[in-house]
Structure 1
Amino acid sequence: MSMEGYDPTILLQLHIALLEMLRTAKDNTKETKGFQLGIVNVVGRFLQEEVQRSKDKLRQHKMWVQDTPVGERQYVYNSNGKRDIYEISPVDLQIAVINQIRNIENKIKSPG
């Protein structure tokens, strides 16, 4: 954890997890119809809002992440003026997705 009370790597991983979740939801809209499509669309809109909140948090810490990967689990990012590529491991991605799902569940349980 850095002196400012946040870990840039964790912020990066959590944001990438949201991007991957959103990409999965978008991919599922291609194969889904009817009632299930409506559910996937609602989930997708919710994830888009979460991605925007995450972008705002990244911006507060002078960070930015490209929305689309440049390779498998590889994302271009910028942190305090330094541009680089971050490759998230499958395990780190899984942990970040689980954390994001828990965050979303908590928001649903206690909105506002």
Structure 2
Amino acid sequence: MSFDPIIALNHHVALLRLVEIAKEEVTKCSGINLLAAKYTGRVIVAELDRSRETLRANKMWVADQPTVEGIYRYSMRGQRGEHEISQDDLHLHMRAIMGDLERALKRSNPGD
């Protein structure tokens, strides 16, 4: 599969947003829900680390924080720019990531 920088940017930004959401959930939860939120957060952070490695392998970098809501600075092979992700694209990539995570969890616990 070839590397598409726009898809990689959108995927990475969606992971950054999911990490933020997981952090918010951890502060709201207690008991078993807290354990589930922490585990989910660790899985998302691991996926974010893999995304960073993929970006790095393709000589790409994305800022962890937006300059303005939805606009992220990036660099690709020495060229800098800004990328705006629409709410629709963000939600599409977030849903895809969550679906991947759900399938991975089901594979790791086949008894259900």
Provide TM-score, normalisation by structure 1.
0.86
Give the percent of matched residue pairs that are identical in Structure 1 and Structure 2.
34
> Considering only aligned residues, what root-mean-square deviation do their CA atoms show, in Å?
1.6
Tell me the distance in 2 between the aligned counterparts of 1:32 and 1:71.
Answer: 29
Counterpart residue type for residue 64 of structure 1: W
Match of 1:53 in 2: 50
Q: 2:4 aligns with which of 3, 7, 27?
A: 7
What residue ranges of structure 1 are gaps of 5+ in the alignment?
A: none
| CA distance, structure 2, for counterparts of residue 57 and residue 103 of structure 1 | 17
User: What's the CA shift for 1:6?
Assistant: 1.9
Provide the residue aligned with 2:88 in structure 1. Answer: 91
Corresponding residue number in structure 2 for 1:31: 28
What is the letter of the counterpart of residue 71 of structure 2?
A: Q
Return the offset for 1:103: 2.3
Alpha-carbon distance in 1 for matches of 2:26, 2:90: 22
Q: Aligned equivalents of 2:105 and 2:41: distance in 1?
A: 15
Deviations 1:39-58 (A, max 9, x none): 11111111110000000011
Number of aligned residue pairs: 108
Displacement, 1:110? 4.1
Cα 1:45–1:78 shift into 2, 3 Å:
same
CA distance, structure 2, for counterparts of residue 38 and residue 45 of structure 1 = 11
Unaligned residue ranges in structure 2 (runs of 5+): none
Q: Which residue of the partner structure matches residue 71 of structure 1?
A: 68
